[in-house]
Structure 1
Amino acid sequence: MKPSKLRVFERRSPVKVLGPYARAVIWVQGCDFGCKGCIVPESWDRDSGEEVDISELVAWVLSQSNIEGVTLSGGEPMLQAEALSTLIDQIREVRDLGVMCYTGYRIEYLKSQGDIAQKLLLTKIDLLVEGMYQENLQDDLLWRGSNNQRLLLLSDRYRDFLQSQSDRSAGLEFFLNETGEVGFSGVPAQPNFRREFESQMSQRSVIVNPQ
């Protein structure tokens, strides 16, 4: 039986700094890598976050009329590969949206030692950012935090787009959520960004909620 739910840390749309064009972004909950300097360690705990019906997430994505695709981040998407494959299939039954995905695993590992669900998910992804974030290798790169991470085309969908881009950070987007917290989406170009930003905001009694 296919999974009907996905454990989610956050979702936001439209986002223009986590992949080509404007995208709906889903941050899944749960990660075992625990990378030092991770920008969202709140997404590590597998039992935290919110369990959401896949049908609800599909409806949410399809309601975003101004997006070109979906980005899957986390957390670690490959821990919920079967549910994400179901999500993508149901979305693409209605709209041909591109899929970008982040993972701490190397693609060689997933292809040789990944489970059936992980290998199947790879076939549905157009653009993959792979490799664990390494704080000591922080760099100013397009959609990646450290220079050991690779940006891989798994289909031709974004080939022309990437050829027109410089390999520099896409920057950050800032927003104010319904609880009054300041949030940001994207991959910072410099190390310790969250800690320094939170410190500056706390001096102004502002809570930071990164994504």
Structure 2
Amino acid sequence: MIYTSRKDCLQIFRRQSPVTVLGPYKRAVIWVQGCEFACAGCIVPESWDEAGGETIVLEELAEWILAQPDIEGITLSGGEPMRQAAALVSLIDTVRRSKDLGVMCYTGYRWEQLQQQGTEAQKSLLDRIDLLVDGTYIESKHEDLLWRGSSNQRLLLLSDRYEQVLMAELAMGDRSAGMQFAVDLTGAFYFTGVPAKKGFREEFAARMQQHGITI
């Protein structure tokens, strides 16, 4: 496994809040930078390069999270969060000393693999996660699913925090929570969420380009 042991900062691709389509309730979402899986059809391939993104000090990121109004939790996406497990453990512990926020996390690894072969930092991160989405995205298995893109990916409750809300969501139908759209500081248009339709990014980008809008 590829990982870093740095604990004082994170390399991130993006941060956004509030987000309502990547986990229960309103959330602050952090996309970490760097991913070894490079899944075909990934909707954020810009997050693969470990040298990309921005470096942010954990204290600053924790302050940003705590300043977000009305959020219930944090979602960690990417990129691959398990590459920067030590820093994420520190971030979660810092935030939770001030506010009890839930943690949802995406990873390309399987839970069993992390339990058996993961580093101590990765296992510590698992101990702090309430809801885990595990497994790589497989384009040929794309389906319209709640908070995940392909049928091999699992929603795993690692605590009882989200048990009731997850059961309620699934009872209403295991389908995408939808998409959010925004403009970043550079004026670029971007979207957040798990598309119900395979190839969404390419189709959406083409349609926006027709109107002179870059994503």
Q: TM-score range by the shorter chain?
A: over 0.9
Q: Percent identity?
A: 59
- 1:206 corresponds to 2:213: yes
CA distance in 1, matches of 2:105, 2:192: 15
Find the residue that maps to 1:60 and give its secondary structure.
helix
**Residue number among 152, 174, 179 corresponding to 2:181 in the alignment:** 174
Superposed displacement of residue 65, structure 1:
1.7
Counterpart position of 1:111: 115
Contact 1:100–1:127 (8 Å) recurs in 2: yes
Q: Distance in 2 between matches of 1:104 and 1:84?
A: 16
Structure-1 residue corresponding to 2:99: 95
Per-residue CA deviations over 1:165-209 (Å, capped at 9, x if unaligned) read: 13111000111223222111000011100000000111111011x
Give the secondary structure class of the aligned counterpart of 1:123.
helix
CA RMSD across the alignment: 1.0
State the partner residue of 1:27: 31
Tell me whether 1:7 sits opposite 2:11 in the alignment. yes
CA contact (8 A) 2:6 2:84 kept: no
1:140 to partner: Cα distance: 0.4
Equivalent runs, 1:56-95 vs 2, <5 Å: 56-95=60-99
Gaps of 5+ in 1: none
Kept in 2: contact 1:2–1:86 (CA 8 A): no
Any stretches of 5+ residues in structure 2 without a counterpart? Answer: none
CA distance in 1: counterparts of 2:208 and 2:133, whole angstroms = 30
Separation in 1, partners of 2:20, 2:146: 12
Q: Number of matched residues?
A: 208
| Paired residue type of 1:92 | R
More displaced, 172-181 or 97-106? 172-181
Change (3 A) 1:2 1:199: closer
Q: TM-score, normalised by structure 1?
A: 0.97
Letter in 2 for 1:53: V
Name the CA distance, whole Å, in 2 between partners of 1:34 and 1:178: 26
Query: Structure 2 length normalisation: TM-score?
Result: 0.95
- The letter of the residue matching 2:167 is Q
Runs ≥4 in structure 1, deviation > 2 angstroms? 176-180
1:42 aligns to what? 46
